[in-house]
Structure 1
Amino acid sequence: MQWYCAYTKPDGELWARSNLWERGFEVYLPLYQKRRRHARRTSWVEAPLFPHYLFLRADFAGQSARAVAFAPGIVNLVRFGEHPAVVRDSVIAEIRAREGADGLIDLDNGKGAASRFQAGDRVLIEEGALCAQVGLFQTRVDAERVFILLNLLGRDVRAIVNARSLRAADR
C-alpha cells in the first residue's frame, strides 16, 4: 500500500475525507488552526494545511483508482503522466511529526507564536482591547504571551499580549 494525493473540490476536503473513509481508504488530512475574522470578531478554526488536497493510502493493484476519482468531493488524483503520483511514507511521517497533542499541525514547530519576532520589531495588535495599536516587541513571557512596548497618551507602557494576536507592522 502506498500514499497518494487527491485533489478535492473547493472547501470539500472534509467531505471528501469522510467519503473516502467510508469506502475503506486510510485518509490523512493535515489540519492547522487558522485565524478567521468576521464582523470584527476573530476566531480560530481548523483549516486544511494544503487547501484542495488530501492524502490517501491505497493499493491500486487491488482497488481501482476510479473508486477514488469518482468519490464525492474528489476532482481527481494528482498524476504524473497517466499514473497517480506516489507520496513517499517519509513525507507523510514528516507532516505527522509536526502534529501537536490536539492532532493539529504546529506551524511554529513547537517554539510558540512568540518566536516569530525579535526584540525591537514593530508589531501590530490585531485583536483584543489594544486592537490596531502598534508597538515594539520586547521579550517573551512564555510560549504564547509577550511583552510589547506601546506609546499610549504620550507615555511608554509595557503590556502583555497574546503572541497570536500580533503581526509584523509595516515600516
Structure 2
Amino acid sequence: MESWYLLYCKRGQLSRAQKHLKWQAVNCFSPIITLEKIVRGKRIAVSEPLFPNYLFVLFDPERIHTTTLSATRGVSDFVRFGALPATIPYRVIEELQIHVGETCVDPQTPQPGDTVLIVNGVFEGLRAIYTEPDGETRSMLLLNLLHKQVSQSLDNRQFQKV
C-alpha cells in the first residue's frame, strides 16, 4: 500500500536525491520556505528547505523495495523507528503542503520593538530599540542617551538582537 516515508539525504545532495527518485517514478516532497534574514549586513529573503537534508517520499514498498531507494544517489537512509521505516500520516503532508512558500522571519532578525545590543562602533555596549530598516544595509535604532531618546541609523553589522 502506498504511504509517505521520510528519507535522510547526504549533506548538500537533497536536489540530487530528488532528481534520481523522480527518475524512479517516486513522488517526492521537500517543503521550501522563504526566510527573511540579515546576510552580510543586508536584509534579504532566501528560499531554503524547511527540513534540511530530509525528503518526504510517496511509494508502495511492495512495488519498489526500500533498499532500492536507500541505494539512490544522494540518499543516506530512511528515518526509522526500530527496524521499519517510519510512515508519515497523509494529514501531516497535506498540512505542510498548505504552508509551502510562506515567508517567515529568522528569529535572529530584529523586528520593530526588539531590544538590540550594539556590538561595535561609537555606541558599542549600549542597548537600543530596533525601529525600522533604513535601506538595504542600515537600520534605525532608538538610543537612550543622557535620559533622552535619540534616533540613530546604524549599519546592520554593528548590532545584534538580544
The TM-score bracket by the shorter chain reads 0.5 to 0.7
The answer for the alignment partner of 2:95 in structure 1 is: 94
Match of 1:17 in 2: 18
Deviations 1:101-158 (A, max 9, x none): xxx24447xxxxxxx967x54327677356154249xxxxxxxxxxxx97149xxxxx
Count of aligned positions: 132
CA deviations 1:22-74 (Å, max 9, x no partner) are 11100001001234725x55543321100110100010011110111011110
Q: Aligned partners of 2:19 and 2:83: how far apart in 1? A: 26
**Maintained 8 Å contact 1:5/1:56:** yes
Higher relative contact order, chain-length normalized (CA < 8 Å, sep 6+): 2
Determine the structure 1 residue equivalent to 2:39. 37
Equivalent residue for 1:68? 69
| Change over 3 Å in CA distance of 1:58–1:105 after alignment to 2 | farther
Q: TM-score, normalised by structure 2?
A: 0.67
Distance change >3 Å, CA 61–CA 129, structure 1 → 2: closer
CA contact (8 A) 1:125 1:131 kept: no
**Aligned CA-pair RMSD:** 3.2
Match of 2:135 in 1: 128
Structure 1: gaps spanning 5 or more residues: 109-115, 137-148, 154-166
Q: Which amino acid aligns with 1:46?
A: S
Q: If each structure's strand is expressed as a fraction of its own residues, which one has the higher value?
A: 2
Structure 1 residue aligned with 2:151: 151
TM-score (norm 1): 0.64
